[in-house]
Chains A and B, each alone.
Chain A
Amino acid sequence: MTAQPKIISAGLDVAAVRADFEILAKPVYGKPLVYLDSAASAQKPKQVLDAMRVFAATDYANVHRGVHHLSAQATDAYEASRRTVQTFLNARHEGEIVFTKGGTEAINLVSYSFLAPRIQPGDEIVLSVMEHHSNIVPWHFLRERQGAVLRWVDVRDDGSLDIEALDAAIGPKTKLVAITHMSNVLGTVTPLKEIVARAHAKGVPVLADGCQGAVHEIVDVQALDIDFYAITGHKLYGPTGIGALYGKRAHLKAMRPFNGGGEMIREVSRDVVTYADPPARFEAGTPPIIESVGLAAAIDYMNSFDREAVRAHEHDLLTYAREALREFNWLRVIGDAPDKGAILSFETEGMHAHDVATILDREGVAVRAGHHCAQPLMERFGVASTSRASFAMYNTRADVDALIAALAKARKILS
């Protein structure tokens, strides 16, 4: 067995990180895998997979139901996972963390249970053009069904958010500001604290889509004073099928239930039903129990590193890639906001993103190509689709080199 060469970047031992991700050693078309699609879904370290396997093999039963030993064990594990998420987001109370099946469900929950009862025709929802469809379509529902008006805030040409434009869009009829913490296409990180301050000054609550933001930024919902913050597990190196909604306790207590079923009730009779307190009120049915253990293990895994060092490492990759791409005069990077996160979207002159991605794929390089579930943003930048490379803690400068070489090859084949 040959020793792994050390790769130290920004104080992070990347070779050690890579050793935790079995899939990174799996060749693709006989080439080493260069996985640059973590913004779509991150790979899972063995610590996450082991935690899920061990829990399922030794402690598993349904939660909050049986009086038997295993049910108690499983309930403890599930609630411990909730506390891990609480600490991760620095929520004041564990009851402010609602487990969902992902970020999308978390936002739909706010749309249905919090906002829908407050919407009169003509009321407004303010959102940015760089939102993912999961933070657009739930608000379109309220437009279609209840006559809500969507007020779109543009981004600047470099992809940064114009806080003054956002402020100006918040008016007397605004019922919510729904904004991403970090764009999945541009990498733009929004100034959430400032946004919340501006919105609250006008009495308007704020929801942040943190599906990307929570991976790359350190989130403190109390310091942000934010009303709702949605995360998903699978982008946080955790499993699919689980996410969470942080909601301020006063909001959650005032909200109507979302799905109906077991666990979310206090009492059910033939004529009447009363509901459990949050978070149980919003967790109908058997929840993603094993996945909650995986999510907690993923958060523990992330916290086992200096997260500032991880951030610096990812930023180094972004800068390195950005510099290397300058040699391609046929390539246009979309999104150059200051302090952006480690996501690089680009348009290739005369070459469609899908053709580029197909050729990259055969070189072992996995990137995302398409509209990235962000069609209003594509329209804003006048493109039908882009290619996107996104960087995670396990990527290296060698991965960037492989991307550059594969892009040069794509150019050669397609032109």
Chain B
Amino acid sequence: MDDSLRELYQDVILDHSKHPRHFGPLDGATNTAEGHNPLCGDRVKINLIVDADDRIADIKFEGKGCAISQASASMMTDMVAGRRVAEAEKLMGGFLHLVKGEDAADLTGDDREQLDVMAGVSAFPMRVKCATLAWHTMKSALEGGTEAAKTE
């Protein structure tokens, strides 16, 4: 099989897409945003509870999409839950570098290890937007924006 395909559709990604973590509605959300990828019509909704410490106490996502977008949303929610907002935004910066095939030196340790499975996306430029949709949407929610997040 094509190596880049195996890179893209690794078991971890397929597992996240089929059994997404943090999937569903969230009661008492303090921040909410919806993201839309006009290319494919995919939508994602991110709900967060940000506490007085500026910490993401809980995060959930809803929506339908391709394996890449679902896995990305699932991994993201898994990783940012419990972190401070600033840390989550820093993580996003590193993630964006990673999936675009750029230098992701700002991703270190466990974060790098966990997100490494998404690095294969960089070989598929048409699919980068699928991977980034949830992250852009989370950012938009954290910024309190009411407009739908876009993938560009």
Could you tell me which A residues sit within 8 Å of B by CB distance?
Answer: 29, 350-355, 358-359, 362, 369-371, 375, 378, 384-385, 409, 413-414
CA distance A355 to B1 in the complex (A): 15
In the complex, besides A355-B67, A385-B41, 8 extra interface pairs with C-beta distance below 8 angstroms are: A355-B68, A358-B5, A358-B8, A358-B124, A362-B2, A413-B9, A414-B14, A414-B67
Is B68 in contact with A371, judged by CB distance below 8 angstroms?
A: no
Contacts of B127 in A (CB 8 A): 354, 358
Given known pairs A358-B127, A362-B2, A413-B9, the reply for A371 and B67 (CB within 8 Å) is no
Is A362 in contact with B40, judged by CB distance below 8 angstroms?
A: no
Could you tell me which B residues sit within 8 Å of A by CB distance?
Answer: 1-2, 4-5, 8-9, 14, 18, 39-42, 64-68, 124, 126-127, 130
Nearest residue, chain B, Cβ from A352:
B66
In the A-B complex, the 7 residue pairs with the closest CB atoms: A352-B66, A354-B66, A371-B41, A362-B2, A355-B67, A370-B40, A355-B66
Is A370 in contact with B5, judged by CB distance below 8 angstroms?
A: no
Contacts of B42 in A (CB 8 A): 384-385
Contact of A359 among B5, B64, B126, B130 (CB under 8 A): B5
CA distance A351 to B17 in the complex (A): 10
CA distance A5 to B40 in the complex (A): 39
Contacts of A351 in B (CB 8 A): 67
Is A362 in contact with B130, judged by CB distance below 8 angstroms?
A: no
Contact of B40 among A29, A353, A359, A414 (CB under 8 A): A353
Count A/B pairs, Cβ under 8 Å: 49
Contacts of A354 in B (CB 8 A): 40, 66, 68, 127, 130
Is B5 in contact with A413, judged by CB distance below 8 angstroms?
A: yes
CA distance A352 to B68 in the complex (A): 10
CA distance A378 to B64 in the complex (A): 14
Most buried by A among B5, B18, B39: B5
CA distance A279 to B68 in the complex (A): 50
Q: Nearest-CB distance from B120 to chain A (Å)? A: 11
CA distance A309 to B44 in the complex (A): 47
Is A362 in contact with B14, judged by CB distance below 8 angstroms?
A: no
Is B5 in contact with A362, judged by CB distance below 8 angstroms?
A: yes
Is B2 in contact with A384, judged by CB distance below 8 angstroms?
A: no
Q: Nearest-CB distance from A369 to chain B (Å)? A: 7
Q: Nearest-CB distance from A407 to chain B (Å)? A: 14
Contacts of A384 in B (CB 8 A): 40-42, 64
Contacts of B5 in A (CB 8 A): 358-359, 362, 413
Contacts of B41 in A (CB 8 A): 370-371, 375, 378, 384-385
Contacts of B2 in A (CB 8 A): 29, 362
Contacts of A414 in B (CB 8 A): 9, 14, 67
Is B67 in contact with A352, judged by CB distance below 8 angstroms?
A: yes
Nearest residue, chain B, Cβ from A369:
B40
* 10 sampled A-B residue pairs with Cβ under 8 A: A29-B2, A354-B40, A354-B66, A358-B5, A358-B124, A358-B126, A384-B64, A385-B42, A413-B1, A414-B9
CA distance A351 to B65 in the complex (A): 9
Is B40 in contact with A371, judged by CB distance below 8 angstroms?
A: yes
Nearest residue, chain B, Cβ from A383:
B41
Is B9 in contact with A355, judged by CB distance below 8 angstroms?
A: yes
CA distance A75 to B151 in the complex (A): 45
CA distance A376 to B136 in the complex (A): 26
Q: Nearest-CB distance from A197 to chain B (Å)? A: 36
Contacts of A353 in B (CB 8 A): 40, 66
Most buried by A among B1, B41, B126, B127: B41
CA distance A353 to B37 in the complex (A): 14
Is B68 in contact with A370, judged by CB distance below 8 angstroms?
A: no
Nearest residue, chain A, Cβ from B14:
A414
Contacts of A375 in B (CB 8 A): 41
CA distance A367 to B86 in the complex (A): 41
Given known pairs A358-B127, A414-B67, the reply for A385 and B4 (CB within 8 Å) is no
Contacts of B126 in A (CB 8 A): 358
Nearest residue, chain B, Cβ from A378:
B41
Q: Nearest-CB distance from A413 to chain B (Å)? A: 5
Nearest residue, chain A, Cβ from B70:
A352
Nearest residue, chain B, Cβ from A413:
B9
Q: Nearest-CB distance from A388 to chain B (Å)? A: 13
CA distance A142 to B130 in the complex (A): 34
Q: Nearest-CB distance from B137 to chain A (Å)? A: 16
Q: Nearest-CB distance from A264 to chain B (Å)? A: 34
CA distance A409 to B1 in the complex (A): 9
CA distance A136 to B84 in the complex (A): 46
Is A385 in contact with B67, judged by CB distance below 8 angstroms?
A: no
Nearest residue, chain A, Cβ from B67:
A355
